[in-house]
């Protein structure tokens, strides 16, 4: 029998090709029967494809059907012709005063989003409530089946580890008019990332699970009166719909397996086997005949709302309230569907169970986050330990190679090797950084057969972190004296507690200047790798020449212009006593270098 749809919704050639029998409004009026009135709320992005699929299923019946297409007014889909939608689709405001024998609400590719974050969720909830009061039987397909179960019964869906994708075989778990004539097992095309466990229906006596599998969750659920039909599959799908989805997912770089039990031998290169069409046609035919046509009143305006009673947390806060609720429910025969909230507050300072559970969930999430942080930190610690050990070995080998080349291996093993154990476990940055000068001074002192005198005993810092010139002077004079031959590490000193304190980079210049100042030296030699202070950078300018003589003031000016030839703070101690500074080249000791003196 024909469908009554708007003129020009679908071109005539397509209707004929799809074997969809239609009738215009003018002809339908003359029929001496009342056509069924069915609304299709189309949430799918490809509107025209979904229209064809559903109209094909609805037309395989002897019933005359009037179709209204409904869209979401609060959301404009990107993949649809807006002009066409507004021409052929109605909004909730257009249908809110209507009654329908049946309604189909399609799925939508938004199943991984939280319901409350969906742009049209409030509008869809309004349609759900409309269906409860103004539609005799409503079929929810795929995502909308999950959304409706959540809205009406607070049954949550779960996210699958991988996409539930293919043609799945289900056993008929119960006899029901909607599966009348079905074989004991039947096939259902399925494509979704979420599922609902069969165990979640145990507390709802109004709901009957007709098909389910452990790996897909439920596939077909109805209320006992068949006024709500929750269809998790896609019997309406065309032959190549799953194939097109598979190709689309691959093109988007998604990790996706081929739909199972769909291609011949499960090989995407082979033909597609249609195995679901007969069950699908029978399902839609049964729904229209047994659940809609034979049940809906002839006077469509007399459709009564499906009774659903909801009891809040305060109504079920303790056993006494349960007894009151039972009395209320049994006092009226049509209270078939009962929706309940978790226990509420029993007294003023009590806590709602939902709040406790939210807090518990937050704590569990935080515990898991902390576990992950600890795991990550443990992994990071292992990496850092390995990196640290390699770096310690690299530094150790650098000094060890010097010791071996100088024939000081025994001295190394006796006096210097332990330093790396100290560095390995130290958290004191100044101590660690100062060990470069310390070890070099130790090696050189042994090589020269000079005394080693530690800078921490010579250079004293005050509580502001500044060098105490007078205390340092007395310490230098006490430890070195006039005739002692000694090697002193530069770059660091110590505070009044004896803790190592380093200078800024280049601080060894300052150490030398302070010692020269304290010992009233006639000259302070500063050996480097160039022939004194040059007119320009010799690495860049082959014509750079050595400046023979500078005053302290001129040296400060050169340093102020950015030349890194000497540490500026190191000038002051020697300048006070007009001690001559000589900048000399270690690799060319015969060169006269640069003399600095006023």
Residues with catalytic annotation?
142, 234, 236
Cross-strand pairs, 550: 596
| Nearest residue to 474 via CA among 521, 522, 518 | 518
DSSP H or E run through 365: helix 353-405
| Nearest residue to 510 via CA among 425, 501, 179 | 501
Query: How many residues are listed for the chain in this entry?
Result: 598
Give the separation between CA 12 and CA 20, rounded to whole angstroms.
10
Cross-strand pairs, 311: 340
Helices (H) and strands (E) in the chain, counts: 18, 22
Cross-strand pairs, 38: 67, 102
Tell me how crowded residue 404 is: count the other CB atoms within 10 A of its CB. 12
DSSP H or E run through 279: helix 277-286
Radius of gyration of the chain (CA): 44
* Matching residue, tokens 């019964």: 153
DSSP H or E run through 470: helix 469-479
| Nearest residue to 102 via CA among 73, 75, 141, 72 | 141
Task: Give ∠ CA 219-220-221 in degrees, rounded to 5.
Answer: 130
Residue 29 in contact with residue 85, Cβ under 8 Å?
Answer: no
Question: What's the sign of the alpha-carbon dihedral 139, 3, 64, 241?
Answer: negative
Tokens of 438: 């310390």
Contacts of residue 288, defined as CB under 8 A and 6 or more positions apart, other chains included, come to 36, 58, 61, 63, 65, 102
Tokens of 317: 């806060």
| Burial status of residue 62 (CB atoms within 10 A of its CB: 0-12, 13-18, 19 or more) | exposed
């Amino acid at each position: 029998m024909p469908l009554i749809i708007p003129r020009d919704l679908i071109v005539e050639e397509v209707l004929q090709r799809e074997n969809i029998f239609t009738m215009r409004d003018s002809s339908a009026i003359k029929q001496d029967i009342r056509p069924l009135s069915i609304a299709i709320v189309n949430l799918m992005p490809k509107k025209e494809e979904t229209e064809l699929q559903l109209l094909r299923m609805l037309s395989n019946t002897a019933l005359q059907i009037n179709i209204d297409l409904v869209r979401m007014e609060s959301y404009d889909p990107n993949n649809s012709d807006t002009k066409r939608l507004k021409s052929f689709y109605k909004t909730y405001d257009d249908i809110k005063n209507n009654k329908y024998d049946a309604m189909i609400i399609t799925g939508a590719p938004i199943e991984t989003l939280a319901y409350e974050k969906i742009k049209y969720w409030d509008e869809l909830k309004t349609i759900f409530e409309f269906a409860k009061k103004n539609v005799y039987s409503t079929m929810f397909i795929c995502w909308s089946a999950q959304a409706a179960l959540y809205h009406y019964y607070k049954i949550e869906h779960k996210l699958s580890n991988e996409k539930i994708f293919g043609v799945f075989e289900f056993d008929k778990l119960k006899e029901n008019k909607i599966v009348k004539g079905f074989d004991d097992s039947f096939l259902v095309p399925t494509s979704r990332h979420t599922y609902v466990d069969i165990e979640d229906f145990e507390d709802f006596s109004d709901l009957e699970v007709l098909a389910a599998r452990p790996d897909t969750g439920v596939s077909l659920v109805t209320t006992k009166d068949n006024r709500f039909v929750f269809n998790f599959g896609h019997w309406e799908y065309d032959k190549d719909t799953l194939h097109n989805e598979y190709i689309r997912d691959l093109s988007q770089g998604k990790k996706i397996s081929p739909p199972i039990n769909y291609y011949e031998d499960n090989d995407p290169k082979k033909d597609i086997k249609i195995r679901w069409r007969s069950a699908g046609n029978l399902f839609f035919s049964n729904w229209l005949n047994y659940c809609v046509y034979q049940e809906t009143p002839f006077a469509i305006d007399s459709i009564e709302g499906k009774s659903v009673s909801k009891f809040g947390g305060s109504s079920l806060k303790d056993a006494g309230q349960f007894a009151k609720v039972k009395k209320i429910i049994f006092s009226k025969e049509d209270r078939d569907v009962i929706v309940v909230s978790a226990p509420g507050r029993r007294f003023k300072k009590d806590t709602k169970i939902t709040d406790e559970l939210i807090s518990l969930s937050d704590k569990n999430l935080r515990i898991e986050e902390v576990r992950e942080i600890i795991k990550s930190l443990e992994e990071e610690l292992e990496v850092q330990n390995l990196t640290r050990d390699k770096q310690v070995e690299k530094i150790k080998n650098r000094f060890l190679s010097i010791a071996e080349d100088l024939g000081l291996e025994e001295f190394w093993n006796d006096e210097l090797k332990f330093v790396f154990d100290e560095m390995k476990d130290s958290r004191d940055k100044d101590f660690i950084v100062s060990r470069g000068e310390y070890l070099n001074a130790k090696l050189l002192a042994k090589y020269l057969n000079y005394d080693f005198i530690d800078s921490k005993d010579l250079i004293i810092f005050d509580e502001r972190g500044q060098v105490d010139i007078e205390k340092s002077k007395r310490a230098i004079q006490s430890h070195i004296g006039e005739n002692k031959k000694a090697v002193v590490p530069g770059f660091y000193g110590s505070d009044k507690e004896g803790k190592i304190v380093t200078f800024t980079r280049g601080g060894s210049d300052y150490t030398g200047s302070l010692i020269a100042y304290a010992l009233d030296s006639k000259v302070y030699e500063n050996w480097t790798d160039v022939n004194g202070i040059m007119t320009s950078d010799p690495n860049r300018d082959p014509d750079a020449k050595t400046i023979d003589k500078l005053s302290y003031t001129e040296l400060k000016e050169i340093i102020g212009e950015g030349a890194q030839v000497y540490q500026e703070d190191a000038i002051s101690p020697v300048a006070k006593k007009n001690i001559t500074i000589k900048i000399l080249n270690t690799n060319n000791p015969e060169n006269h270098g640069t003399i600095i003196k006023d």
